[in-house]
Amino acid sequence: MASTMKTWIPAVAAAVWAGSAAATLNLQEPTTTIAAQIYSLHTYILVVCAVIFVLVFGAMFYSILKHRKSVGHKAAHFHENTTVEIVWTVVPFLILLGMAAPATKTILAMKDTSNADITIKAVGYQWKWGYEYVRGEGDLAGVSDGIKFYSNLSTTMDEIYDKTGTVKKGDNYLLDVDNPLVVPVGKKVRILTTANDVIHAFWVPSFGVKQDAIPGFIRDTWFTAEKTGEFRGQCAELCGKEHGFMPIVVKVVTVDEFKTWAAKQAKDTGAPAAETAAAPAAEAAPAAEKVAAAGGAADGKKVYEATCVACHSTGVAGAPKVGEKAVWAPRLAQGKDALYEHAIKGKGIMPPKGGNPALPDADVKAAVDHMVALSK
Ligand SMILES: [Cu+2]
């Protein structure tokens, strides 16, 4: 049965997809085999449900209308009709089997994260994603190992908190990031998910990928993107007030472009792939610390851009905006030690260490220095 379904389901799915491409109610167009299977299953099960619905309600309404009391019908009284009982047990059982068999096959394929070409750790933070290229295998061995960065929402605060109603929202409103996840086309990418604070979820609909990111646990999922381009997703677990502000952008590029990109990353972070690969002990360190460490223990600008910029570049919710001298003057008057302390321990709405408890104190101080230097 599975083999005949293989031939007709995608055909039906393609037809339905084409018919509804303009509609926004459908699933996103699948770009991996897993997503295509999920899409076909969705269509197939929808058809099964629709057929059952029509048959059951058809029979019911036909009986109610044609055999009603007012046209002279009498209710039949019978008990224990063995034939009927066998039929209504066996038929649903077969229907369930017909749905469970293909679904199980897809689920097993979704869970098979073996033989990946690249392994990337995705760490959920309130409220951003951190990516770390842990390992490449086969012809991608060592190419991207050790690359790590944060991926922050890049939709401007003006667009989000537009009080005047005059700012035009972009096409990818709340779905743009500063640093997208970059992966090669046609290669199996294993994603390890975990989180730093609360439960998040890594979700890219067109890849058919959705995996919870749970603090203290590592979960995994995988995808092989079949075409180049940009694909978007979001955190899919309610994770706090800015849950809607942690999108995922995956840029799928050719293998050559990927190698070029990876080489450039390694140069930028000063962490050549070979060096990090040779120091597996460093892998045990929490990602956040490593990200901070990659820029030198006290690179205030980097820490600021990774952790503090979200609030302090725009002045959201009363955060003193970096560069506004008048706003900073009374705060500077408290002296630097007070500022350090407030940045480390938190103050009012400002969370301790800007919400990243893994940051070393020295990094927070460096970020404060950076902010102060720009605001004096
Ligand atoms: Cu989240």
Q: How confident is the model at residue 77 (pLDDT cuts 50, 70, 90)?
A: confident
Looking at per-residue pLDDT, the higher value among 32 and 298 belongs to: 32
201 CA to centre of ligand 1 in angstroms: 6
Whole-number Å distance, alpha carbon 354 to ligand 1 midpoint, is 16
Ligand 1 center–CA 11 separation, angstroms: 36
- CA dist., res. 311 & res. 43, Å (int): 44
| pLDDT at residue 269, as a whole number | 56
Residues belonging to the chain: 376
Res. 279: pLDDT tops 60: no
Please give the distance, rounded to the nearest whole angstrom, from the Cα atom of residue 238 to the centre of ligand 1.
6
Please report the pLDDT score of residue 327 as a whole number. 85
Ligand 1 midpoint to CA 193 (Å): 12
Q: How far is the CA of 263 from the centre of ligand 1 (A)?
A: 30
Tokens 């900073």 -> residue: 328
Handedness of CA 301, 303, 309, 313 (dihedral sign): negative
pLDDT by residue (tens digit) across 301-352?
888 888 888 778 877 777 888 888 888 888 888 888 889 988 988 887 788 8
pLDDT at position 98 over 80: yes
The confidence score (pLDDT) of residue 283 equals: 40
* Residue 243, both tokens: 């849950």
Beta-bridge partner residues of 129: 124, 151
| Share of residues in the chain with pLDDT > 90 (%) | 51
Calculate how far, in angstroms, residue 128's C-alpha sits from the geometric centre of ligand 1.
Answer: 7
Single out the residue of 91, 235, 118, 88 nearest to residue 183, CA to CA.
118
Query: Which residues, in sequence order, are bridge partners of residue 231?
Result: 250
372 CA distance to ligand 1 middle (Å):
30
Give the CA distances from residue 113 to residues 20, 124, 183, 207, 272, in Å, rounded to whole numbers and listed in that order: 32, 20, 16, 14, 27
Residue 44 alpha carbon to ligand 1 centre in Å:
32
Cα 174 to ligand 1 centre (Å): 13
Q: Which amino acid type is present at position 187? A: K
Do residues 370 and 304 make contact, with C-beta atoms less than 8 angstroms apart? yes
Whole-angstrom Cα distance, residue 127 to residue 242?
6
pLDDT above 90 for 105? yes
3-state secondary structure of 196: coil
Distance 291 CA to ligand 1 centre (A): 19
Q: Are strands 188-195 and 118-125 parallel, antiparallel or unpaired?
A: parallel
- Cβ-based neighbour number of residue 108 at 10 Å: 9
Ligand 1 centroid to Cα of residue 302, in Å, is 23
| Residue 133: exposure state from Cβ atoms within 10 A (0-12, 13-18, ≥19) | buried
How far is ligand 1, taken at its centre, from the CA of residue 203, in Å? 10
Question: Residue 222: which of 137, 98, 146, 127 has the closest Cα?
Answer: 137
Q: How far is the CA of 245 from the centre of ligand 1 (A)?
A: 8
Ligand 1 centroid, distance to 242 Cα (angstroms): 8
Ligand 1 mean position to 171 CA, how many Å? Answer: 22
Q: For the segment 113-122, what is each residue's pLDDT rounded down to a tens digit?
A: 999 999 999 9
Give the number of C-alpha atoms closer than 13 A to the C-alpha of residue 341, restricted to the C-beta side: 7
Count of Cβ atoms closer than 10 Å to residue 282 Cβ: 14
Rg of the chain over Cα atoms, rounded to whole angstroms, equals 28
Cross-strand pairs, 350: 347
Mean pLDDT computed over 20-42: 84
94-98, 167-171, 270-274: which is most confident:
94-98
Q: Quote the pTM value.
A: 0.59
Ligand 1 centroid, distance to 195 Cα (angstroms) = 9
pLDDT score of 7: 53
CB 209 within 8 A of CB 202: yes
Whether the bond between 328 and the residue before it is cis, its omega within 30 degrees of 0, is no
* Alpha carbon of 247 to ligand 1 centroid (Å): 9
Reported as type and span, the H/E element at residue 248 is: strand 247-253
Compute CA distances 203 → 49, 222, 266, whole Å. 27, 11, 27
Q: Span 99-109, mean pLDDT?
A: 95
If phi > 0 it is left, if psi is from -120 to 50 it is alpha, else beta; for residue 196 that is alpha
| Ligand 1 centroid – CA 177 distance (Å) | 14
Give the pair of three-digit tokens for residue 171: 């096409």
Q: Please give the distance, rounded to the nearest whole angstrom, from the Cα atom of residue 215 to the centre of ligand 1.
A: 12
How many Å lie between the centroid of ligand 1 and the Cα of residue 221? 17
**Which among 116, 113, 118 has a CA at the least distance from the CA of 209?**
113
31 Cβ neighbours under 8 A, 6+ residues apart: 206, 207, 225, 226, 227, 229, 231
Ligand 1 centroid from CA 209, angstroms: 15
Residues of the chain above pLDDT 70, percent: 85
Instruction: Say what the pLDDT of residue 252 is.
Output: 96
Binned at pLDDT 50, 70 and 90, residue 209 comes out as very high
Q: Could you tell me the end-to-end alpha-carbon distance of the chain, in angstroms, rounded to an integer?
A: 73
In whole angstroms, give the CA distance from residue 270 to residue 268.
Answer: 5
The residues facing 209 across adjacent strands are: 204
Q: Which of 98, 140, 110, 100 is nearest to 33 (CA)?
A: 110
Going from the Cα of 124 to the center of ligand 1, the distance in angstroms, rounded, reads: 6
Give residue-wise pLDDT tens across range 351-374: 888 877 778 888 899 999 988 888
